[in-house]
Structure 1
Amino acid sequence: MDLRKLDVFVTVATERSFTRAAERLHLAQSGVSTAVRALERDLGVTLLDRTTQRVELTEPGRALLPEATRILAAVASARAVVTQAEQGLRGSLRLGILYGDLTPAPLRAALAAFHAEHPLVELVLTAPGTGGSLDHLARLHDGSLDLAVVIADTEPGIQRHVLATDEVVLACTPGHALAGRDGVELAELIHEPFIDFPPGWGMRWAVDHAFRAAGLRRRITVQMNDLSTILDLVRLGLGVAFVPTSLANDSADLRFLRVRNDAPSYEIALAAAERPLGAVARRFLHTALPAGHHLAQRAAGA
């Protein structure tokens, strides 16, 4: 089986588009189509359903994708080992990251140290899309990311190492009715208009879980996937928001109230799919994780 055909198939399957796959592979679109058709002839099956709007995997295509991804990763790892022995570590690290201050400082330091030690490695950093950590987990499963930083609950087939745990505090304006308090109960917030992340984001999951566990429902009026914008909307008086405790000292123009009794909390973890990692990803784990630690085989989510 031709590895180049497999690479083209995986790229088309990941991009869900022949056009985007051709751009990513620096090939003519006709060449991409020819490679996929040749692979389908080799296997005697149809791997992709083509429409004018979108490319979808068939059942054989869905079965082949993880296997093809593993084969290509194994070949890339073998090449990297040989190259590393001769020239030093090369290749790429495809890492899913979180926005801004949500990424723990030790991990940012590990990225800087890794880049300084291995300058020939290309760092391909991907921020989450509208689905938050769920986007990263999907990319870990389909092989388009090697590792990802996620705010996690549970997910089968994912290994993780917890990097940090943080609680949330309630952000409001100085003129808000609650601003003079030093703490608040969840039950006192059910009528407040909340500005929050969309479903799928880890901090949103943690807060929703805390309200459900208390038998309460809250009112979310604005959804935004950027923490700095959320704080700006709080400043405008459009609502209140839960934010990480670690950020409470960075905005002197707002008031931050701790949550009494079962404050929502979340874990930030470095996650990988349960399959062999390439040489570059293994080396980054060695840099990023505390000495003697390995990825804990726990399920991770968003």
Structure 2
Amino acid sequence: MEIRQLEAFVAVAEELHFGRAAARLHLAQSPLSQTIRKLERDLGVTLFDRSTRSVALTPAGAALLPHAHRVFEELELGRQATRAVSGEVYGTVTIGFSGALNHRTLPPLTRAVRRRYPQVTLDLVAGVLTGDGVVQIERGALDLAFVALPLDPSPRLRSRLIAREPLGVALPTDHPRAGDESVDLGELADDDFITIPAASGSGLRETAMRACIVAGFRPRVVQEITDPFMILTLVAAGVGVSLVSDGVAQIMPSGSVFVPLAGPPTYLDHAIAWAADNPSPVLRAVLAVADEVMPTPS
């Protein structure tokens, strides 16, 4: 089995079309078909069901595909390792982040990495909340994710605190407490709340819910939405109020205000998380940069 055969197989398996796969590989369709037929003869199996209208993986083809992907992943890691020996850092790191909640923490890291390692590509995936980020790291879909602490214990997962932000409340500008310097959370017990869905595994939601319970009430949730900035937009529209970290005070949309909570602060703990067994030297380089630009707060 040759690398070029595996390249041809993966292209057809992902495109499910010989013409598109040939164009992707900069080949004519006939040599590509011959390469696939030779691979099938060598393996003694049929990898694709072909018809005049469609191409589909056979069970044998579906079984081969993840192993073919791993071959190319290992080749890429090998290239990265050889460049690392000469002092050059090269490759891709996939980073998940939630959006508005990371507007203070993501940019310093991405700017520093691009300045330090111009050969590193950062693949940024937006809309990744804590629960989803952990799952994607453990599946290998993400190398690094911005998450909220605490995380459920996992032998594969590593995390490090990078910032602590006190909770406050986002209020519509016509709310009776919108002009106050601070607000006691218990005074909002009768308000309608907008939150991130419970099923999303959001650290912000869990922290906010605990704060409300400590304040003596369970919030009446009237709207759930996964995008933190859209939550602020709904607050501005007068749908309800929402507990958020003070990092969003700088990006409040028109029609809304951020008011700190009175009393001892409740913190949202921001962290980065990664898989302990991820062998990527590029990830290690990015983590080292993160140590410099986002040190663990005292």
How does the TM-score come out when normalised to structure 2?
0.69
Structure 2 equivalent of residue 231 of structure 1: 232
Superposed CA RMSD in Å reads: 5.0
Q: Distance in 1 between matches of 2:182 and 2:145?
A: 34
* Equivalent residues in 2 for 1:113-262, closer than 5 Å: 113-129=112-128, 132-152=129-149, 153-156=151-154, 157-198=156-197, 199-214=200-215, 216-251=217-252, 254-261=256-263
Secondary structure of 1:238's counterpart equals coil
Secondary structure of 1:98's counterpart equals coil
Structure 2 equivalent of residue 80 of structure 1: 80
Q: Distance in 1 between matches of 2:277 and 2:68?
A: 13
Secondary structure of 2:118's counterpart equals coil
* Equivalent residues in 2 for 1:257-296, closer than 5 Å: 257-261=259-263, 263-290=265-292
Secondary structure of 2:230's counterpart equals helix
- The offset of 1:228, in angstroms, is 2.7
Q: Distance in 2 between matches of 1:161 and 1:205?
A: 19
- Unaligned runs of at least 5 residues, structure 1: 11-23, 27-64, 295-302
- The offset of 1:239, in angstroms, is 0.8
Secondary structure of 1:183's counterpart equals coil
Q: How many residues align?
A: 282
Contact 1:161/1:270 (CA < 8 Å) preserved in 2? yes
Decide whether aligned partners of structure 1 residues 285 and 190 sit closer, same or farther in structure 2, where only a CA change above 3 A counts: same
Structure 2 equivalent of residue 60 of structure 1: none
- The offset of 1:128, in angstroms, is 3.0
Secondary structure of 2:170's counterpart equals strand
Contact 1:150/1:202 (CA < 8 Å) preserved in 2? yes
Contact 1:170/1:243 (CA < 8 Å) preserved in 2? yes
Q: Distance in 1 between matches of 2:288 and 2:220?
A: 43
- The offset of 1:265, in angstroms, is 2.1
How does the TM-score come out when normalised to structure 1?
0.68
Identity rate, percent: 28
Contact 1:111/1:288 (CA < 8 Å) preserved in 2? no
Contact 1:73/1:278 (CA < 8 Å) preserved in 2? no
- Unaligned runs of at least 5 residues, structure 2: 11-23, 27-64
Decide whether aligned partners of structure 1 residues 79 and 184 sit closer, same or farther in structure 2, where only a CA change above 3 A counts: same
- The offset of 1:230, in angstroms, is 1.8
- The offset of 1:69, in angstroms, is 8.9
Decide whether aligned partners of structure 1 residues 126 and 159 sit closer, same or farther in structure 2, where only a CA change above 3 A counts: same
Secondary structure of 1:112's counterpart equals helix
Q: Distance in 2 between matches of 1:67 and 1:191?
A: 56
- The offset of 1:169, in angstroms, is 0.8
Structure 2 equivalent of residue 104 of structure 1: 104
Larger radius of gyration: 2
Structure 2 equivalent of residue 297 of structure 1: none
Q: Distance in 1 between matches of 2:286 and 2:260?
A: 36
- The offset of 1:101, in angstroms, is 5.0
Structure 1 equivalent of residue 90 of structure 2: 90
Secondary structure of 2:201's counterpart equals coil
Secondary structure of 2:292's counterpart equals coil
* Equivalent residues in 2 for 1:17-56, closer than 5 Å: none
Contact 1:169/1:245 (CA < 8 Å) preserved in 2? yes
Contact 1:92/1:124 (CA < 8 Å) preserved in 2? yes
